[in-house]
Structure 1
Amino acid sequence: MPKITFLPDNISVEAEVGEALLEVAKRCGVSIPTGCLMGSCHACEVELEDGEIICACISGVPAGKDEITLNLFVDPVW
């Protein structure tokens, strides 16, 4: 099971491949803002360690990695 780390709080949790990132975050007490829950509004954007920006509401834990780091954005509008 991959280990997911949420920055800036440095909270880590193990997750199943394919598990929804919003569910993983919720399970470990990390709040990711959401809006539309369809990837259109971009309220739930997170940044992967390689700089790729993804919408957490439509993304699952990817296969092939033992550790994944997600940097959460702080947007006062959401």
Structure 2
Amino acid sequence: MTVRIHFLPDDVMVDAQVGEPLLDVADRAGVSIPTGCLMGSCHACTVELEDGDVIRACISAVPPGREEVTINLFSDPTW
């Protein structure tokens, strides 16, 4: 199943497959998400979904059951 991923604030949209790693989707779309440990513990890759949930992109994948997912990128000045 294909899900449309909408990256903010750059307003970039890309289609992705359910279960595809979010970092791979972002890379394919030309969107940079900072990373650190790649295990979710350093929180460098923290992003916010449209419903307010905060996730770590390095350990997250495209979720099932949705036609579109909006991901708000915000930068942490320490990274």
TM-score (norm 2): 0.97
Higher relative strand content: 2
What is the one-letter code of the residue matched to 1:50? Answer: D
The runs of at least 4 aligned residues of structure 1 exceeding 6 Å deviation read none
Q: Which residues of structure 2 form unaligned runs of 5+?
A: none
Distance 1:74 1:55 in 2: 13
Per the alignment, residue 54 of structure 1 pairs with 55
Instruction: Show the counterpart of 1:13.
Output: 14
Q: Describe the superposition over 1:32-75 as per-residue Cα deviations: whole angstroms up to 9, x where unpaired.
A: 00000000000000000000000000000000000000000111
2:49 maps to amino acid: L
- What residue in structure 2 maps to residue 33 of structure 1? 34
**RMSD, matched Cα:** 0.4
Q: TM-score, normalised by structure 1?
A: 0.98
Aligned length: 78
Give identity over the alignment, percent.
Answer: 68
